């Protein structure tokens, strides 16, 4: 590999990491289309590269979130077994599907995901003392963390655990099948259904997606889909980009930007579909 | 209500940072080696790795970096499981070890 190639791939990774961190999504949703459509990388290789990037960004962010207490480790461990099972199923299923089929599934999925992205999730905190449901109480899933922006301790109780398990399992399947983190499904689910505050939901989802990505990454790895040079360049780029994105994210507000990203996702999905059906050059 | 779930998991979080730094360093070293030698590394063959490091070639550094990256969340779950054992929280300890079992099953079947 030449320095130019490495820098180009790292640049794509950095951009994906930057945008991903700014909008609170994993870089996978950008990396897979960029590699598959932009660079003509085989779909399975693009997916596992994305999974490795998800592991890198998740591990880096989860460390901070666990220390601050924002990540609800108990909730993550409660949801993760089914999510991992979903990821394994998705990883194996991908092995039986041709790249063009995966492109079509990814294209449709990314277009569908653009809606929750544009809509956003309610940034409301659950009031102190509000009750969770029986399952949450039985499994001791309440949490609390110090919100630095509000300069106060935020306490909450989680609700609707079975629904969260179901959605997390589906997110796991998508992760294994398409190489996305699945946070775009889990964060709204935890916030809207589980009544987990936005910051805790994002931190908990972030902790989970790295573990989920490992489950399917090893399956792709075992099949020989990993291109080490490509993966290394992309992972290092994503890592740098996501670190920058975290700082930029704090300064960015506005629904128009989120809306713009949603439109961008639709365009990428359309590109993938065009390529899958043979109407895209390259 | 604040519970143990909000308590920071210092050991696990430190291990996550360490894992990321180690894998990042290995990947950067591997990429630098590729540039110097002008090589394109072959796709991973598990049997190659099982056969030993075979000298620290750029390709081997990349594979080790990727493996360190993949191992990081696994080590994290292991440490969390041990923390739950220490706190006598059987359910969550079992969940952690269940996750590890599933990851191991995925690894074994994937490699086969």
pLDDT digits (tens, 9 = 90+) for B10-19: 888 888 889 9
User: In the numeric block, which tokens belong to residue B33?
Assistant: 């080696």
Question: How far A228 CA sits from the closest chain B CA (Å)?
Answer: 6
pLDDT tens per residue, range A162-175: 999 999 999 899 88
CB contacts under 8 A, B 56-95 vs A, are 59, 62-63, 65-66, 69-70, 72-74, 76-77, 80, 91-92, 95
Q: Give me the pLDDT at residue B6, please.
A: 44
pLDDT at A24: 63
- The pair of structure tokens assigned to B63 is 């594979």
Q: Does A6 touch chain B (CB under 8 A)?
A: yes
% of chain A beyond a pLDDT of 70: 85
B3, pLDDT greater than 50 = no
> Searching chain B, which residue's CA lies closest to the CA of residue A53?
B69
Which of the two residues, B19 and A113, has the higher pLDDT score? Answer: B19
Residue B54's CB: how many other CB atoms inside 10 A? 10
Distances (CA, A) of A33 to A47, A62, B106: 9, 25, 26
Q: B5 and A236 in contact by Cβ < 8 A?
A: no
Residues 113-172 of A with CB under 8 A from B: 139-145, 153, 155, 157
Q: Which two tokens stand for residue A8?
A: 């180009």
How many Cα neighbours within 13 Å face the side chain of A224? 8
Among partner residues B4, B59, B96, which is closest to A77 by beta-carbon distance?
A: B96
Query: Mean pLDDT over residues A37-60, rounded?
Result: 89
pLDDT at A196 over 90: no
- Cα(B75)–Cα(B16) distance, rounded to whole angstroms? 8
Question: Residues B36, A192: contact at Cβ < 8 Å?
Answer: no
Per-residue pLDDT, averaged over B26-39, amounts to 86
Q: Under an 8 A CB cutoff, do B5 and A210 touch?
A: no
Query: Which one-letter DSSP state was computed for residue A125?
Result: P
The whole-angstrom separation of Cα A112 and Cα A103 is 14
Residue with tokens 């070639």: B57
Q: Kindly state whether A64 is in contact with chain B, defined as any CB-CB distance less than 8 angstroms.
A: yes
Closest to A174 in 3D by CA, of A254, A8, A54, A10: A54
Q: Hey, are the CB atoms on A223 and B73 less than 8 Å from each other?
A: no
Tell me the nearest-neighbour CA distance from B106 into chain A, angstroms.
Answer: 6
Scan residues 210-269 of A and list those with Cβ closer than 8 Å to B.
Answer: 210-211, 213-229, 231-233, 235-236, 239
A32 within 8 A of A178, measured Cβ to Cβ: yes
B59 vs B68: CA distance, rounded Å: 14
The pTM assigned to this predicted structure is 0.86
Residue B96 dihedral angles phi and psi, to the nearest 5°:
-60, -45
Asked if the Cβ–Cβ distance from A236 to B80 is below 8 Å, we say no
Question: CB burial class (10 A; 0-12, 13-18, 19+) of residue A48?
Answer: buried
Which two structure tokens, joined as six digits, stand for A60? 């880096």
- Encode pLDDT of B49-99 as tens digits: 655 555 677 888 898 999 999 999 999 999 999 999 998 889 999 999 999
Closest in A2, A214, A231 to B38, CB measured: A2
User: Does residue A239 contact residue A67 with C-beta atoms inside 8 Å?
Assistant: no
Residues in chain A: 282
Mutate to test the interface with B, among A8, A42, A63, A76 (most CBs of B within 10 A): A63
CA A183 – CA A203 distance, rounded (Å): 10
- Could you give phi then psi for residue A143, rounded to 5 degrees? -145, 165
Q: What secondary structure, in 3-state letters, does B28-90 show?
A: HHHHHHHHHHCCCCCCCCHHHHHCCCCCCCHHHHHHHHHHHHHHHHHHHHHHHHHHHHHCCCH
What's the pLDDT score for residue A131? 55
- Interchain contact, A220 vs B110, CB within 8 Å: yes
**Average pLDDT for residues A59-79, to the nearest whole number?**
86
Contacts 24+ apart (CB under 8 A), A247-256: A248/A18, A248/A21, A248/A22, A249/A21, A249/A22, A249/A23, A249/A24, A252/A22, A255/A120
CB within 8 Å of chain A, chain B residues 36-55:
38-46
Q: Is B20 on the interface with A (CB under 8 A)?
A: yes
Which chain B residues are within 8 Å of A61, Cβ to Cβ? none
Which comes out higher in pLDDT, residue A236 or A121?
A236
Q: Does B96 touch chain A (CB under 8 A)?
A: yes
Sign of CA dihedral B61, B63, B68, B69: positive
User: Is A229 within 8 Å of B62 when comparing Cβ atoms?
Assistant: yes
* CA atoms of A1 and A159, how far apart (whole Å): 50
How many residues would you count in chain B? 112
C-alpha distances (whole Å) from A262 to each of A17, A119, A269, B41 are: 16, 9, 11, 36
Q: Which helix (H) or strand (E) holds A153?
A: strand A152-156
Q: Are B73 and A239 within 8 A, CB to CB? A: no
Q: Quote helix, strand, coil % in chain A, to nearest 5.
A: 75, 5, 25
């Amino acid at each position: 590999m030449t320095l130019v190639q490495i820098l180009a791939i790292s640049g794509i990774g950095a951009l994906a990491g930057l945008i991903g961190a700014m909008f609170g999504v994993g870089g996978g949703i950008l990396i897979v289309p960029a590699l598959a459509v932009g660079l003509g990388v085989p779909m399975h290789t693009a997916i596992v590269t994305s999974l490795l990037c998800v592991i890198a960004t998740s591990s880096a962010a989860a460390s901070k979130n666990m220390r601050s207490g924002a990540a609800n480790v108990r909730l993550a461990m409660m949801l993760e077994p089914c999510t991992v099972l979903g990821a394994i199923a998705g990883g194996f299923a991908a092995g039986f599907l041709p790249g063009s089929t995966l492109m079509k599934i990814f294209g449709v999925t990314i277009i569908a995901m653009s809606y929750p992205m544009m809509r956003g999730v309610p940034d409301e905190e659950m009031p102190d003392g509000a009750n969770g449901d029986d399952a949450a109480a039985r499994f001791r899933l309440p949490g609390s963390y110090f919100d630095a922006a509000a300069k106060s301790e935020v306490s909450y109780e989680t609700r609707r655990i079975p629904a969260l398990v179901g959605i997390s399992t589906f997110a796991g399947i998508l992760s294994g099948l398409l190489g996305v983190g699945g946070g775009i499904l889990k964060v709204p689910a935890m916030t809207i259904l589980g009544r987990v505050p936005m910051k805790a939901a994002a931190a908990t989802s972030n902790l989970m997606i790295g573990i989920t990505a490992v489950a399917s990454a090893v399956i792709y790895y075992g099949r020989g889909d990993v291109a080490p040079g490509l993966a290394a360049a992309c992972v290092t780029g994503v890592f740098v980009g996501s670190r920058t994105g975290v700082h930029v994210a704090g300064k960015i507000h506005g629904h128009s930007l989120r809306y713009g990203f949603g439109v961008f996702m639709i365009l990428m999905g359309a590109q993938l579909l065009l390529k899958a059906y043979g109407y895209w050059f390259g | 209500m604040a519970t143990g779930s909000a308590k920071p998991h210092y050991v696990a979080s430190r291990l996550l940072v360490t894992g990321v730094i180690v894998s990042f360093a290995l990947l950067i070293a591997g990429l630098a080696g590729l540039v110097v030698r002008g090589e394109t590394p072959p796709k991973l063959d598990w049997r190659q790795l099982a056969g030993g490091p075979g000298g620290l070639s750029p390709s081997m550094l990349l594979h080790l970096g990727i493996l360190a990256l993949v191992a990081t969340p696994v080590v994290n779950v292991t440490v969390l499981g041990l923390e739950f054992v220490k706190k006598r929280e059987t359910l969550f300890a079992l969940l952690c070890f269940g996750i590890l079992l599933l990851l191991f099953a995925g690894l074994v079947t994937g490699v086969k």
